[in-house]
Chains A and B, each alone.
Chain A
């Protein structure tokens, strides 16, 4: 679940740990950052040296060439144009899929009847690879924005739905009993216990869905589009422009990181009691 978050979490955990022992040249967080930068820089250098020598640059291009394409497409505005379209699709898909996922997750988690009723349907749809729906969505929504949003939303929906559902189910029955003793009705229990306790799970679901939102959008563009990073990708590939392919991949990665950062900020805003946990030292 925490694949994307681990490096930051690791840095945060390392920070208070080593501090008091003895003064070092750099704070641990900075040291780690420098090592990470050195590693990436080293890989780029190796890549640059390999291409054209050991491996044909037709296959792997070379960092300088990719950088040149990025600079060029940034300057003529086309990169930003394509990126903004993909970002829009992914964001809309993320919001629509996330909202529906939360809604259904809470509904099914809260109502056993509904969960039992819909269980087989959920199992079927969940086992379906969501990108396989692309042809169907083209028939339904055409080849415009809606189809990519739908594809992205379909993927995000299930991840968020399953997480929310699990979260609602995992709520502490003891806390519910304590509140019911205070005279709480079902609405009180839902709003004061179930929803806040499920939030952790909801955000875990949202965080893992970020790359999938982009997958939905990009795959949709690969299928049918002349705009967006997916289209840029397939055009570059059609012209055997390997550097262009890598530049598009780079832009997709940056988008994913940005969206991920937005989710993280939202998470600390919405769950301040969790962010408090991060700063505090581990106690048992």
Chain B
């Protein structure tokens, strides 16, 4: 079985795995990081979004062996101890979740959006960027509000964070 090594939320990990292990299975079943969710079989829902080398990817559409040597950031690596990331805080403040199943993917997608497009995001841009993230509860309105607020809060926040989350 091939060996893979990667850094997950700042911690180096190495394992021998079956090559067909998806990155999301590796995170959930081997590392027990169950914050990353699986919501579909078709790579369409975005519940599994994590960052690989700083970019948002669907971890259900990537083999763990393809992440060999990579830096991976999951929802578990976003907060600083007990202090939520400003984007997480914004979802709480703006009622951006109901059941919460889609939320980890929404937040990882939102952080990637801010990285690429900056902290000033209009509603239209946010909705376009959420193309690959489905939510069955909220109707999206409060998610869009949360992301806009979270992005603004990130610009005002100067706490040092893991590179990939910035």
Question: Is chain B a partner of chain A in the same complex?
Answer: no
Interface residues of A (CB under 8 A from B): none
